[in-house]
Amino acid sequence: MADAFNGNRSILVVGSGMSGLSAALEAAEAGFQVYMVEKEPYLGGRVARMNKYFPKLCPPSCGLEINFRRIKNNPLIRFFTMAQVEKIQGEAGNFDVTVTLQPRYVNEKCTGCGTCVDHCPVLALWGENDLLVPPVKSSEYFRNKMIEIKNPDATVKIIFRADHTLTFNLTGKRSETISRREQYKDNPSMVFAPGAVELMVEWLTKRND
């Protein structure tokens, strides 16, 4: 492991699907410095996009959560998302690899400084009957965060009679959401809680004038 920290032994893993995550973890836990390159903005590959995966048919968060925790706790693993290998030079045991990082940018002039975050218009909506995220506590935290970073254009609202998806829902239960969507499948605008769509349209219109 001492050699790894001195940069004398390193492994590049391209892709962070289950096989990539496993390879990176096994190598790092064997004492190698590991660099993982992933073209998507998240780790987990196709599994992270699935509802359930074989063989136990459990949600991907089960297996991925364990691996993510192992990655977080292992100083020998560095990962780069939104990244792609551009060029490989050298020979076995002594490669030089060029990796291009795609910035999470506003436009092509972005340097990744993060200043835009403090000034970007923000619309944050919660449903009054959200059973997944506590609306009052979450909205207050978010509002205070916007004040802390001095964001000049942050709108934080709790939508009356709405669930987590802003669907009209008096109980917050998923069964009511499914029923509402089925009832108005031919008229999607009626799915949402009163005022939700109008608020979003008005907010966007004002900022696009």
Which of 45-59, 103-117, 166-180 comes out lowest in average pLDDT?
A: 103-117
Please list, in sequence order, all residues whose beta carbon lies within 8 angstroms of the beta carbon of residue 50, skipping any fewer than 6 positions away. Answer: 60
pLDDT of residue 64: 84
111-163: per-residue pLDDT in tens? 767 777 777 899 999 999 999 889 999 999 999 999 988 888 999 999 999 99
Residue type, 201: V
pLDDT of residue 119: 79
Nearest to 45 by CA among 19, 23, 16: 16
Which neighbouring-strand residues pair with 98?
87
Token pair belonging to 197: 């769509």
pLDDT of residue 6: 54
46-92: per-residue pLDDT in tens? 888 787 777 777 777 777 888 899 999 999 999 999 999 999 998 88
Q: Taken in order 60, 21, 96, 80, is the CA torsion positive or negative?
A: positive
Helix 18-29 and helix 61-72: axis angle, to 10°? 30
Say yes or no to pLDDT of 2 above 50: no
Q: Where are the domains of the chain?
A: 2-101, 115-208
pLDDT of residue 7: 52
Say what the pTM is: 0.49
Taking the domain 2-101, which CATH number applies? 3.50.50.60
